[in-house]
Amino acid sequence: MLVQFVPDLGTKVWVVSDPDSLIRNEDVLPKLEEKGFEVIAFEDPMVFRFEYESRIRPAWEIGGSRPLVILCDDLDESASHLPGDLLITSKTLKFGIDQLFPGMDGAILSELPSEKWGTVLEYLEGQPRKKHTSRETEDVILKLCYKIVPEIMDGPADLLRRLSDTHLLGLPIGKRLASRVARELETGSGLKGWPVEKLCSETSFFWSFLQIGWENYLSGAKTEVTIPFEEPVVFGQLPRLFEQRILKKVDRSGIGEAKDWMSIGLQGEKKEESLVTNADWEKVLEGIPEAGAVHREWMQFGMRYSKMVSETFRQGSAQCHRHFWDSVWPAVDTSFLKWASHSMSGLRNLSPVPPVMTHHANKQMLRWSRKGKKIALIVLDGLSLSGWSTIRDSLLGNLSTEADCEETGMFSWLPSLTPVCRQALYSGMEPRLFEESQEYTNYDARRWEEFWTSQGNFQPKEIDHALIDGDMDDFGDVVPSDESRVKILGATISKPDEIMHGMKLGWEGWHQQLELWMKKGFLSKLVDELLKKDFIVSLSADHGNLESVGIGKVNQGVWAKTRGQRIRKYSEPDLRDKTAEELSGTTHRGFLNREDEFMLYPKGRGAFVAKDDVVVTHGGPSLDELLVPWIVIKGKDQEI
DSSP codes of every residue in 5-55: --TTSS--EEEEE-TT-SSSSTTHHHHHHHTT-EEEE---HHHHHHHIIII
397 and 539 in a single domain? The answer is yes
Mean pLDDT of 109-125: 92
Question: What is residue 636's DSSP assignment?
Answer: T
465 and 521 in a single domain? The answer is yes
Asked if pLDDT for residue 337 goes beyond 50, the answer is: yes
CB 451 within 8 A of CB 362: yes
Asked if pLDDT for residue 589 goes beyond 80, the answer is: no
Asked if pLDDT for residue 8 goes beyond 80, the answer is: no
Rounded Cα distance between 154 and 189, Å, is 6
Q: What is the percentage of the chain residues whose pLDDT exceeds 70?
A: 96
The whole-number pLDDT of residue 156 equals 93
Closest CA to 280 of 328, 238, 248, 235: 328
Q: With bands split at pLDDT 50, 70 and 90, how would you rate the model's confidence at 357?
A: very high
Q: With bands split at pLDDT 50, 70 and 90, how would you rate the model's confidence at 271?
A: very low
The whole-number pLDDT of residue 378 equals 98
Question: Which residue, of 267, 301, 323, is where some domain finishes?
Answer: 267
CB 364 within 8 A of CB 377: no
Mean pLDDT of 553-564: 72
Q: With bands split at pLDDT 50, 70 and 90, how would you rate the model's confidence at 190?
A: confident
70 lies in some domain: yes
Closest CA to 150 of 206, 191, 101, 91: 191
The whole-number pLDDT of residue 419 equals 95
Asked if pLDDT for residue 480 goes beyond 80, the answer is: yes
| Range name among 181-185, 264-268, 459-463 with the lowest pLDDT average | 264-268
Mean pLDDT of 396-404: 93
366 and 504 in a single domain? The answer is yes
pTM for the full predicted model: 0.92
CB 618 within 8 A of CB 543: yes
Using CA atoms, how far residue 158 sits from 185, 235, 236, 467, in Å, is 12, 12, 12, 49
516 and 592 in a single domain? The answer is no
438 lies in some domain: yes
Mean pLDDT of 99-126: 92
Compute how many other C-beta atoms are within 10 angstroms of the C-beta atom of residue 473: 9
152 and 221 in a single domain? The answer is yes
In sequence order, the 6+-apart residues with CB closer than 8 A to the CB of 307 are 244, 245, 386, 389
354 lies in some domain: yes
124 and 195 in a single domain? The answer is no
Asked if pLDDT for residue 272 goes beyond 50, the answer is: no
Question: What is residue 193's DSSP assignment?
Answer: T
175 and 208 in a single domain? The answer is yes
The whole-number pLDDT of residue 595 equals 63
The whole-number pLDDT of residue 139 equals 95
536 lies in some domain: yes
Question: Which residue, of 95, 125, 155, is where some domain finishes?
Answer: 95
235 and 355 in a single domain? The answer is no
The whole-number pLDDT of residue 596 equals 63
139 and 152 in a single domain? The answer is no
Average pLDDT score over the chain: 91
Q: With bands split at pLDDT 50, 70 and 90, how would you rate the model's confidence at 147?
A: very high
299 lies in some domain: no
157 and 185 in a single domain? The answer is yes
240 and 376 in a single domain? The answer is no
Please tell me which residue, 9 or 550, carries the higher pLDDT value. 550
217 lies in some domain: yes
Closest CA to 543 of 409, 381, 428: 381
538 and 391 in a single domain? The answer is yes
505 lies in some domain: yes
Mean pLDDT of 608-621: 95
Mean pLDDT of 92-100: 91
Asked if pLDDT for residue 181 goes beyond 50, the answer is: yes
Amino acid (one-letter) located at 237: Q
CB 386 within 8 A of CB 514: no
- Please say whether the dihedral angle defined by the alpha carbons of residues 594, 599, 605 and 610, taken in this order, is positive or negative: negative
407 bridge partner residues = 631
| Range name among 290-299, 512-521, 532-541 with the lowest pLDDT average | 290-299
Report the domain count for the chain.
5
250 bridge partner residues = 266
Q: Give the start-end residues of each E strand in 262-301.
A: 266-267
Amino acid (one-letter) located at 632: V
Question: What is residue 325's DSSP assignment?
Answer: I
Asked if pLDDT for residue 263 goes beyond 80, the answer is: yes
Domain that holds residue 40: 2-95
Q: Which of 188-192, 223-227, 419-423, 437-441 is modeled with the greatest confidence?
A: 419-423
Q: With bands split at pLDDT 50, 70 and 90, how would you rate the model's confidence at 582?
A: confident
39 lies in some domain: yes
